[in-house]
Structure 1
Amino acid sequence: MLAEAAATVPVLLAAPVAGLLGHRAVRRARGARLLRIDTPNGIDEQGFVRIGGIEQWISIRGEDTSNPVLVEIHGGPGASHSIFGTRTRSWEKHFTVVRWDMRGAGKTFGRSGPRGQGEMSFARLYEDALDVTRYARRRLAADRVVLVASSLGSVFGLRLARSHPELYSAYVGTDQNILDAGRDTSVHEALLARLHAAGRHKDAAAAREMGCAPHRMTADQRASYDKLTVASDPLTLDTLKRVVLGSLWFSPLHSLREIGRYFAGMKFSARLTPDLAAFDDRADGTRFEVPFFVFQGDRDVITPPGRARSFFDEVQAPVKEFALIEDASHFASFRHPDRFLDLMLTRVRPLVAHRAAA
Structure 2
Amino acid sequence: MKQKLLLILLLTFVSGRLAAQTKAINEEGFISIGGIEQWVTISGQDKTKPIILFLHGGPGSTMSQYDDAIYGYWKKDFVLVYWDQRGAGRTFGKNAPETVTEDYWIENPLTVEQMTADGIALSEYLVKHLGKQKITLVGTSWGSILGAKMALSRPDLFSAYVGHSQIVNEEAGFLHAFNTVSKLAQSAKDQESLDKLESLGPPPYGEARKSGQLMRIIKKYERENATPAPASWWKLTSAYDNEKDAQDRYNGDDYSFLYFAGHKAMGIKSMGAGVNFMQDGLHYKVPVYFIQGEEDILTPKELTKAYFDKVKAPKKEFILVPGAAHGHNQAVIDAQYKAVKKALKVL
Q: TM-score range by the shorter chain?
A: 0.7 to 0.9
Deviations 1:106-148 (A, max 9, x none): 1111223356894422222121111111111111111111111
Aligned mate of 1:151, from 141, 145, 154? 141
1:234 counterpart residue number: 223
1:126 counterpart residue number: 116
2:85 counterpart residue number: 102
Deviations 1:269-323 (A, max 9, x none): 1232212213221111301111111112222222122221111111000111111
1:140 aligns with 2:130: yes
2:272 counterpart residue number: 276
Superposed displacement of residue 184, structure 1: 7.7
| Inter-partner Cα distance in structure 1 for 2:321 and 2:50 | 23
Secondary structure of the residue that 1:261 maps to in structure 2? helix
Superposed displacement of residue 183, structure 1: 7.8
2:7 counterpart residue number: none
1:349 counterpart residue number: 344
Does structure 2 conserve the Cα–Cα contact (< 8 Å) formed by 1:174 and 1:332?
Answer: no
| Inter-partner Cα distance in structure 2 for 1:191 and 1:204 | 9
| Inter-partner Cα distance in structure 1 for 2:149 and 2:312 | 14
| Inter-partner Cα distance in structure 2 for 1:166 and 1:236 | 40
Superposed displacement of residue 162, structure 1: 1.1
| Inter-partner Cα distance in structure 2 for 1:163 and 1:52 | 17
Alignment of 1:244-323 (within 5 A): 247-257=233-243, 258-273=245-260, 274-323=270-319
- Tell me the C-alpha RMSD between the 2 structures: 2.6
1:325 aligns with 2:311: no
One-letter amino acid of the structure 2 residue matched with residue 349 of structure 1: L
Secondary structure of the residue that 2:155 maps to in structure 1? coil
| Inter-partner Cα distance in structure 2 for 1:299 and 1:66 | 37
**Mean Cα displacement is larger for which, 79-88 or 218-227?**
79-88
Superposed displacement of residue 338, structure 1: 3.5
One-letter amino acid of the structure 1 residue matched with residue 146 of structure 2: F
Does structure 2 conserve the Cα–Cα contact (< 8 Å) formed by 1:50 and 1:56?
Answer: yes
| Inter-partner Cα distance in structure 2 for 1:239 and 1:109 | 29
Secondary structure of the residue that 2:307 maps to in structure 1? helix
TM-score by length of 2: 0.81
Superposed displacement of residue 54, structure 1: 1.3
Does structure 2 conserve the Cα–Cα contact (< 8 Å) formed by 1:325 and 1:340?
Answer: no
- Give structure 2 stretches of 5+ with no counterpart: 1-19, 261-269
One-letter amino acid of the structure 2 residue matched with residue 267 of structure 1: D
Alignment of 1:22-41 (within 5 A): 39-41=21-23
Does structure 2 conserve the Cα–Cα contact (< 8 Å) formed by 1:239 and 1:335?
Answer: no
**Mean Cα displacement is larger for which, 156-165 or 205-214?**
205-214
One-letter amino acid of the structure 2 residue matched with residue 316 of structure 1: K
| Inter-partner Cα distance in structure 2 for 1:51 and 1:256 | 26
1:88 counterpart residue number: 71
- Would you identify which runs of 4 or more consecutive aligned residues in structure 1 move more than 6 Å? none
| Inter-partner Cα distance in structure 1 for 2:294 and 2:77 | 25
| Inter-partner Cα distance in structure 2 for 1:129 and 1:334 | 26
| Inter-partner Cα distance in structure 1 for 2:309 and 2:92 | 38
Deviations 1:216-270 (A, max 9, x none): 4411112211111112232588747x55xx5444333422312232122101112
Alignment of 1:1-40 (within 5 A): 39-40=21-22
**Kindly tell me: are residues 184 and 43 of structure 1, through their superposed partners in 2, closer, same or farther at Cα, counting changes over 3 Å?**
closer
Does structure 2 conserve the Cα–Cα contact (< 8 Å) formed by 1:294 and 1:323?
Answer: yes
Superposed displacement of residue 210, structure 1: 2.4
Aligned mate of 1:194, from 178, 184, 200? 184
- Give structure 1 stretches of 5+ with no counterpart: 1-37
**Kindly tell me: are residues 184 and 251 of structure 1, through their superposed partners in 2, closer, same or farther at Cα, counting changes over 3 Å?**
closer
Superposed displacement of residue 191, structure 1: 1.0
TM-score by length of 1: 0.79
One-letter amino acid of the structure 2 residue matched with residue 344 of structure 1: V
Alignment of 1:203-218 (within 5 A): 203-214=193-204, 216-218=205-207
2:95 counterpart residue number: 112
Deviations 1:321-355 (A, max 9, x none): 1112232122236664344323322x2220xx69x
Q: Identity over the aligned pairs, expressed in percent?
A: 26
1:340 counterpart residue number: 336
Secondary structure of the residue that 1:232 maps to in structure 2? helix
| Inter-partner Cα distance in structure 2 for 1:132 and 1:298 | 32
**Kindly tell me: are residues 208 and 334 of structure 1, through their superposed partners in 2, closer, same or farther at Cα, counting changes over 3 Å?**
farther
One-letter amino acid of the structure 1 residue matched with residue 91 of structure 2: T
**Mean Cα displacement is larger for which, 294-303 or 131-140?**
294-303
1:9 counterpart residue number: none
2:4 counterpart residue number: none
One-letter amino acid of the structure 2 residue matched with residue 268 of structure 1: Y
1:73 counterpart residue number: 55
